[in-house]
Chain A
Amino acid sequence: MLSVSLQHDRPGLALDFDLPPGQLSAIVGPSGSGKTSVLRALAGLLRTRSARISLEGDIWADTNTGIFQPAHLRPVGFVGQKYALFPHMSAIENVSAALLHLPGVERKRQAQACLDAVGIAGLAARSPSALSGGQCQRVAMARALVRKPRLLLLDEPFSALDRSTRKRLHVELKRLQANLGMTVVLVTHDLDEAAQLSQTLCLLRRGRVLQHGLTSEVLRRPASVEAARLMDFSNLVQAQWIGADHKGVSLRWGEVVLRAAVGPLSKPGVPVSWTIRSSDVFLVKDGHPDESSLGVLVHARVTEVISMGDSVLATVLVQGSGGEPLRMRLRPGAVRRHGVHVGRRLRIAIHPKAVIVLA
């Protein structure tokens, strides 16, 4: 287990989380959320006001007992945004630079083997300025891995790459992580990247953990309004808590009564926020054979239709809702079938399992 507890003033950090060993965890947050500072603290590059960092029982930093292992003594590999290859060294010299504790011949042998492993054996003699972005990233990865670190730290390592290189390197990172079984922490602002690569996700904002857990769980159910905003849930709506029973929670949204399968206990009349993915709001045809299974059915009027490549984003005003619009992501086929256009009146379904009541 990688246990992290950090308090710092500039940049402001106040967080506490555990990450599972042998897995790839992602720390996601907007610019200025402190995610790079967390990574620097893990690497031993940032000494925070208060810290306790341990990996599987080995304490790397503990301000209470005065323990602080500097970066060069921690078994970490680090790949930064700009790769930071030493410009006066060739690719193989860059990798060898992480093995200065070994004799020269052994150093070169291991560095070459590591370049082989990341698929750039033929570029060993090249200078970093003669390598493409993807090749630099591989050299940086080889340099980080060659010391066989117990913790691999990746600070937005794919952000400067083109889409196809990024996709290819995503696959290679997953393969490397699976083969080596090491604990990896990836910092990124790209939720899609985190969703594809990580098993555990930690959402950060202003130096604090907003939500933390299994990636699939966090992405499915944001725990707070801030988390929902960060995860780009475009439907953030105010309602009133009515009551709870064995089937879930009831909310009043204007005149519409909604059901949520899961939700917090509260008092009747207390304002709450709820959200629903734009792709979880469905159109319903008149005469649907099993309408009761679709959830709450309401009438709505289309106010905007925007084509977004392979999907269409429609904004609707739900009748009796109190004026807050809902956004729906529809397939072009559904748009054609239902004749969706501005001004069109539609019936839509809001299923209790899709309604997420936020703290």
Chain B
Amino acid sequence: MDWSALRLSLELAGWTLVLLLPVGILIGRWLARTEFRGRPLLQAICALPLVLPPTVVGYYLLTFMGARSPVGGLIDAWFGLSLVFSFPGLVLASLLVNLPFAILPVQRAFEAVSQELHDAAACCGMSPWRVFARVELPLAWPGVLSAAVLTFGHTLGEFGVVLMVGGNIPGETRTLSIAIFDRVQAFDPAAAGRMAALLLLISLVTVALGYGALDRRARRGAGQS
């Protein structure tokens, strides 16, 4: 069992969740409540990682994050940080790849909060921030929870982009899914099997906990009625 790969996978999923969820909430809410000209294009960009092959996403990330690229060069010059084949680069790639998982459920959940509720909250004297915190966010919470579960679970299992951007450096970029691939390549099916079972278990528990929380919330809502 490659415990460092497990730790790295959990760290990557944790960082992605912590950094991406607030962004997902803000962008999802913005897309749900604001009409503007470029909205379809922005929605398409956010959803693109769902339909593009991971190799294509990985190729462009490599191109833009490499030390010879303008972006990669600037980051290297300012922070002394190489994004390619490093954990920070992996986190950045993971943030981009998981955009649709963090935004789409949140956007749908905010869209389901009716204009009437908004108006009622404003006429109760609530400022726009209070309307968001007291009315919108609690009602959109199932969508936020789904986004969190999907983002965490998807990052745990991400393979293609991680391999393209991070390669296979033990302790630095070798996540559990890369380690499984590595063991299969090395004709070590027993180790690959153990790690695959562990990843399966963690993913199952993550998704089951998410569904459980949604069920509890639904039961609490029904219990009040």
Contact = CB atoms under 8 A, between A and B. Distances in A.
A88 B139 contact: yes
Given A84-B114, A127-B224, A129-B224, A78 B119 contact: yes
B126 A72 contact: yes
A88 B138 contact: yes
A127 B225 CA distance: 5
A86 B120 contact: yes
A143 interface: yes
A88 B221 contact: yes
Nearest to B116: A84
A71 B225 contact: no
A77 B134 CA distance: 19
Nearest to A86: B135
Nearest to B135: A86
A1 interface: no
Contact of A80 (B116, B135, B139, B224): B116
B122 interface: yes
Given A84-B116, A87-B139, A88-B138, A129 B123 contact: no
Given A70-B122, A76-B123, A98-B125, A90 B224 contact: yes
B217 to A, nearest CB: 9
B196 interface: no
Contacts of A130: 224-225
Given A86-B135, A127-B225, A100 B121 contact: no
A86 B121 contact: yes
B123 A77 contact: yes
B124 to A, nearest CB: 4
B124 A45 contact: no
B176 to A, nearest CB: 38
A43 to B, nearest CB: 6
A299 interface: no
A125 to B, nearest CB: 8
A147 B130 CA distance: 17
Which range holds the interface residue count of chain B?
Answer: 20 to 34
A71 B130 contact: no
Contacts of B121: 86, 97
A58 B201 CA distance: 65
B69 interface: no
A144 to B, nearest CB: 7
Contact of B124 (A80, A98, A127): A98
B117 interface: yes
A344 interface: no
A185 to B, nearest CB: 13
Interface in B91-133: 114, 116-117, 119-128, 130
Contacts of B134: 97, 100
Interface in B113-166: 114, 116-117, 119-128, 130, 134-135, 138-139
A126 interface: yes
A341 interface: no
A76 B125 CA distance: 9
Interface string A66-110: 000011110011101010111110100000011011000000000
Interface centre among A44, A71, A88, A140 (most CB of B within 10 A): A71
B124 A147 contact: yes
A265 to B, nearest CB: 47
A102 to B, nearest CB: 11
A45 B118 CA distance: 10
A73 B126 CA distance: 9
Contacts of A8: none
Contacts of B135: 86
Nearest to B119: A45
A143 B224 CA distance: 19
A47 interface: no
A140 B124 CA distance: 11
A84 B117 contact: yes
Contact of B125 (A45, A86, A100, A129): A100
Contacts of A87: 139, 221
A80 B128 CA distance: 19
Given A129-B225, A130-B224, A72 B119 contact: no
Contacts of A85: 120
Contacts of A77: 123
A78 B120 CA distance: 7
A84 B120 contact: yes
Contact of B127 (A72, A84, A127, A144): A72
A101 B130 CA distance: 11
A170 interface: no
Contacts of A84: 114, 116-117, 119-120
10 contacts: A45-B123, A72-B124, A72-B128, A72-B130, A78-B119, A87-B221, A97-B121, A98-B124, A129-B221, A147-B125
6 cross-chain pairs, A with B, having the tightest CB-CB distances, nearest first: A127-B224, A78-B123, A71-B122, A84-B120, A98-B124, A84-B116
